[in-house]
Amino acid sequence: MASRLDALVITDRGGAERSVRFAVRVQPRSSRAGVDGMHGDALRVRVNAPPVEGAANEAVVEVLAKALGVAKRRVSIVSGERSRSKVVEVSGLTAASTRERLDGTSP
């Protein structure tokens, strides 16, 4: 069965602790927060917070941590701190487990 997230590129990263990276597109000041499918080749993440003083970035980390079932400290924004388009890294997961967890949260 095809998933809405098939277009999402999730990159496995090696090292001392496994991690994954993927692109997200943030929609700040949304009426509801959560993972909401795809925006092009990026995961769409809606947050209530405004894009002021890092509030939206903190909200993105919280939403993704909750959706993936990991601690907030395991989620970090690698690039795009001041942009709606970001690259996020999540430590402790593989690409397969990340896709599986996100498939359960996407409408």
What is the DSSP code (8-state) at residue 98? Answer: H
pLDDT average, residue stretch 42-51: 96
Mean of per-residue pLDDT scores for the chain: 91
Cα 18 to chain centroid distance, Å, stands at 17
> What is the spatial distance between Cα 47 and Cα 56, in angstroms, rounded to a whole number?
7
| 39 Cβ neighbours under 8 A, 6+ residues apart | 25
In the predicted structure, residue 2 carries a pLDDT above the cut 60: no
The answer as to CATH 3.30.1200.10 being correct for domain 11-100 is: yes
pLDDT average, residue stretch 47-54: 94
Domain spans of the chain, in order of start: 11-100
- Residue-wise pLDDT tens digits, 80-92: 999 999 999 999 9
| pLDDT value, residue 51 | 93
pTM for the whole structure: 0.90
